Amino acid sequence: MKKQQLIPLLVSLLLGNPATVTAMSRPVETPIAVSASAVRAEQLPPANINLGTVTITPDIAYSTLSDYRPMLLDLYQPKGKGQHPLVIFVHGGSWTSGSKRTTGHFTNFSNVLARLAERGFVVASVDYRLSGEAPFPAALQDIKAAVRFLRANAGKYGIDPDHVGIWGASAGAHLAAMTAFTAEDFDFDPPGIAHAEESDCVQAFVGWYGPYELRTLFRQASTPGNRVDPSGPMRFFGCTPKGCPPGVFAKASPISHVDAEDPPTLLIHGTNDTTVPAEQSRQLAERLKAAGIISKLVLIDNVSHDWTGQGHEATTAASRKAVNTTFDWLEKQLLKEK
């Protein structure tokens, strides 16, 4: 632009000529895209976060159901190309609360999951529908949907679809166990599920202080004619003040579904757990042994739920023991046999 043309333009801008400002600032517009059907999945691509050698992709939508929020997962991918075994983590929270980024006393649970990824795993930590959103088996359906979604996208995410493990804590251990022990059981799946061609089978299961035999755990609510508090966990199982649906605790108990086809299992529990007694893991271990399933039961003395001990030092030691035992066992089951 020549000098004699630039001066009038600058004067026009300083004087606030709107026509000139609009002409200078308006970008070249592309047509706004419109879909033929209503769009329910968000289109803003998730950002990647680098944590050491691990790449974290937060909030990937693995399931979008009408009338519900999108179900999201965080994905932790190790450095290097090729396929890696997958471990899916399911958080606890009495089926009523919780987050895919927090568990127990761990200051930064995302760092814990990243450490597992550093060992050569793709790790997915998933959210699911809670008791205030939908009753059982909705949350189980969500976890199964996550398994199928990740298998369907194995090439995209560098996953070995033949080596998949699932690990859960507390209520998450219940859901993870149900996933592991009801593989290919379409009684728990709604019609028209996404990625129905993919298997929901897993090749390893780890449970931390999980409830596995619900009739014993909720003995009072299981008694016919008993009035129950319909809030919290009871709401998840469809209970009302008049009682709970007949047979729901048997159907929703992982121990009811154990058979010879179930995957190798690691159970870890604190001996002083009063929220979910260690007897829950003992009973499941006995049932797995009777079915001929490879299983291991680890009891950590003098700690309760969430690895809570008598003081910070005891809690720290138990938490680290649980993590190290879990990581070593998953490595043996899913990595070294490849």
Task: Tell me the per-residue pLDDT of 256-298, one tens digit each, with 9 for 90 and over.
Answer: 999 999 999 999 999 999 999 999 999 999 999 999 999 999 9
Strands, E, within 49-208: which ranges? Answer: 49-51, 54-63, 71-77, 84-90, 122-126, 159-169, 204-208
Q: Which residue has the higher pLDDT, 215 or 338?
A: 215
Q: Is the pLDDT of residue 2 over 70?
A: no
In this prediction, residue 298 carries a pLDDT of: 98
Q: Cβ-count burial of 35 within 10 angstroms (0-12 exposed, 13-18 middle, 19+ buried)?
A: exposed
User: In terms of Cα–Cα distance, which of 106, 105, 102, 94 is closest to 139?
Assistant: 94
Distance between CA atoms of residues 85 and 269, nearest Å: 25
The predicted pLDDT at position 43 comes to 67
Tokens 């008049």 belong to which residue?
242
Task: Provide the 3-class DSSP secondary structure of residue 213.
Answer: coil
Share the mean pLDDT of the chain.
Answer: 89
| d(C-alpha 224, C-alpha 40), whole Å | 42
CA 278, 283, 284, 289 torsion-angle sign = positive
pLDDT band at residue 8 using 50, 70 and 90 as cut-offs:
low
3-state secondary structure of 294: coil
- Do the beta carbons of residue 93 and residue 132 sit within 8 Å? no
- Structural domain spans, the chain: 46-213+253-335
Distances (CA, A) of 157 to 47, 84, 149, 161: 15, 9, 11, 11
24: helix, strand or coil: helix
pLDDT at residue number 13: 47
Q: What CATH number belongs to 46-213+253-335?
A: 3.40.50.1820
pLDDT reading at 20 higher than 60: no
Least confidently predicted of 49-58, 116-125, 292-301:
49-58
Asked if the model's pLDDT at residue 24 lies above 70, the reply is no
pLDDT at 301 over 60: yes
- Model confidence band, residue 1 (pLDDT cutoffs 50, 70, 90): low
What is the model's pTM?
0.86
Q: Where do we find the tokens 């003098």? A: 302
Q: What is the pLDDT of residue 25?
A: 60
What separation, in Å, do the N-terminal and C-terminal C-alpha atoms of the chain show? 67
pLDDT, position 222: 67
Cα angle 257, 262, 266 (rounded to 5 degrees) comes to: 100
